[in-house]
């Protein structure tokens, strides 16, 4: 991922230094496990631990130079490690293992750490959404279906529903973490033909992973689940960002993403305050969805393994982790600093001349004795008249002899508090969302 969208704490997990560091830890732990079984001399296992090289930039360069000869990155890595440790202890490095035992187990450890960061970022976004949902719990605005005024809602309810969705994303990430928090050191086709299962258990326990049955590789449906969780995060972020973009339009003006001092919205038009952050987030979510498709294609490998998945994963797993983390973090800053205009929300609600109350009028007419279809036609006709003549909907109803409703009944139908009186269950559900 390009630096522009890479935040340091997540990026640090996917450096060559970090990757080789985990590979090395798997190798060292395996050697120590063999020693506990009496296969490797204790002194040699101790020497492997003590002489293990630091996986710094110099080490990375050495592996790259060796790979130019071997054309195999794990084999090159083992060669460089063995050279640093020296004989006779070095002979026990990679004993009984196949490349994927090291690579897949280390990758699982990396993705587990990445998922932890995603859960943390999700929690921070959820906290921001919950706080602002409660802040605007009773702030009325027009609810829109098909982009048109429908019935009244509140801005707090809108944010509360987003918060509940973000919480479901957090749960998905946690489940994906559990799915990838597995390791395998079971040999070339997963039969433990040249390795004791106790070695696998020892390494996985030390890395916080659970041993799992496998072929040569850990099944890629697990990685696809992780990519799905990242894509789901992106979809939610895009949904919220798209709503903010709509609300920021000049004709709407109900909310606006933060605009920093010194920021410029346009190089040509000084008056512009464009929703550039939300547009950026909506665009990046597309990459997450594309990566999911590639991850699903990685599930079907030939026989006990081919490596068609390997090149793909080197791109999509770091990129999806980085992007999901970036999207969560940036949207949280948007929500924290979101500028909300309650007066404009109420003004826009009034622009429909009371048409947002058409359903309670319909129900009142049904209650008064009209058939539903007759009542519907009356309300539909009067609504069309009100809109065409730019007159208050209630006034048109009061002039219509087909409407047998007293003033009290119309008062109730056109009551904004009545329309919003039952939002409690949404906020009860919001109250159950944890922010720690």
Q: Find out whether 195 and 187 touch, Cβ atoms under 8 Å.
A: yes
* Other C-beta atoms lying within 10 Å of the C-beta of residue 21: 18
Q: Give me the residue label for tokens 């058939």.
A: 371
Is 189 in a helix, a strand, or coil? coil
Alpha carbons within 13 angstroms on the beta-carbon side of residue 170 total: 21
Per DSSP, 54 falls in state: P
Two tokens, residue 124: 């921070």
Beta bridge partners of residue 340, listed in sequence order: 255
Measured CA to CA, the distance from residue 292 to residue 299 in angstroms comes to 11
Q: Give me the residue label for tokens 């602002």.
A: 132
Q: Active-site residue 149, yes or no?
A: no
CA distances 211 to 108, 179, 204, 218, 308, Å, are 11, 12, 6, 10, 24
Q: Active-site residue 352, yes or no?
A: no
Catalytic residue among 72, 193, 266, 368: 266
Q: Give me the residue label for tokens 């922010």.
A: 435
Residues in the chain, overall count: 436
Two tokens, residue 391: 């007159």
Task: Of 234, 27, 38, 208, give the one whose Cα is nearest residue 121.
Answer: 234
Burial classification of residue 142, based on how many CB atoms lie within 10 Å of its CB (0-12 exposed, 13-18 middle, 19 or more buried): buried
Task: Of 191, 284, 304, 188, give the one whose Cα is nearest residue 237.
Answer: 284
Catalytic residue among 146, 267, 271, 303: 146
Is 211 in a helix, a strand, or coil? strand
Measured CA to CA, the distance from residue 420 to residue 417 in angstroms comes to 5
Q: What would the 3-class secondary structure string for 362-413 be?
A: HHHHHHHCCCHHHHHHHHHHHHHHHHHHCCCHHHHHHHCCCCCCCHHHHHHH
Per DSSP, 341 falls in state: -
Is 40 in a helix, a strand, or coil? coil
The secondary structure of the chain in percent helix, strand, coil, rounded to multiples of 5, reads 65, 5, 30
Active site positions, annotated = 146, 266
């Amino acid at each position: 991922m390009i630096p522009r969208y890479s935040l340091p704490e997540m990026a640090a997990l996917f450096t060559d230094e970090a990757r080789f560091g985990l590979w090395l830890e798997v190798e060292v732990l395996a050697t120590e496990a063999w020693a506990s079984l009496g296969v490797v001399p204790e002194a040699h296992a101790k020497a492997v631990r003590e002489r293990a090289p630091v996986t710094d930039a110099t080490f990375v360069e050495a592996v790259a130079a060796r790979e130019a000869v071997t054309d195999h990155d794990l084999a090159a890595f083992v060669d460089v490690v063995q050279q640093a440790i020296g004989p006779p202890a070095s002979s026990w490095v990679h004993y009984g293992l196949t490349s994927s035992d090291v690579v897949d187990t280390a990758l699982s450890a990396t993705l587990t750490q990445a998922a932890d960061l995603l859960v943390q970022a999700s929690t921070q976004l959820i906290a921001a959404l919950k706080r602002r949902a409660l802040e605007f719990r009773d702030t009325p605005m027009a609810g829109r279906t098909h982009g048109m005024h429908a019935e009244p809602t509140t801005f707090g309810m809108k944010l509360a529903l987003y918060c509940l969705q973000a919480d479901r994303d957090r749960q998905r990430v946690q489940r994906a973490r559990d799915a990838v928090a597995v390791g395998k050191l079971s040999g070339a086709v997963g039969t433990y033909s040249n390795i004791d299962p106790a070695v696998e258990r020892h390494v996985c326990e030390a890395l916080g992973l659970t041993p799992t049955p496998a072929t040569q590789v850990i099944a890629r449906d697990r990685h696809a689940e992780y990519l799905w969780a990242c894509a789901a995060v992106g979809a939610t972020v895009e949904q919220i960002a798209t709503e903010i973009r709509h609300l920021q339009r000049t004709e709407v003006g109900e909310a606006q993403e933060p605009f920093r001092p010194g920021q410029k919205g346009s190089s040509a038009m000084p008056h512009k305050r464009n929703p550039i952050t939300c547009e950026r987030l909506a665009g990046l979510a597309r990459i997450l969805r594309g990566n999911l498709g590639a991850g699903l294609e990685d599930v079907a490998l030939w026989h006990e393994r081919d490596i068609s998945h390997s090149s793909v994963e080197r791109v999509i797993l770091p990129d999806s982790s980085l992007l999901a983390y970036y999207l969560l973090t940036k949207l949280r800053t948007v929500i924290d600093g979101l500028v909300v205009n309650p007066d404009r929300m109420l003004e826009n609600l009034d622009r429909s001349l009371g048409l947002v109350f058409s359903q309670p009028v319909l129900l009142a007419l049904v209650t008064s004795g009209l058939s539903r279809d007759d009542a519907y036609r009356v309300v539909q006709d009067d609504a069309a008249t009100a809109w065409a003549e730019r007159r208050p909907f209630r006034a048109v109803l009061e002039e219509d002899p087909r409407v047998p409703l007293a003033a009290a009944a119309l008062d109730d139908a056109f009551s904004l508090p009545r329309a919003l009186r039952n939002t409690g269950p949404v906020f009860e559900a919001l109250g159950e969302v944890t922010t720690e």
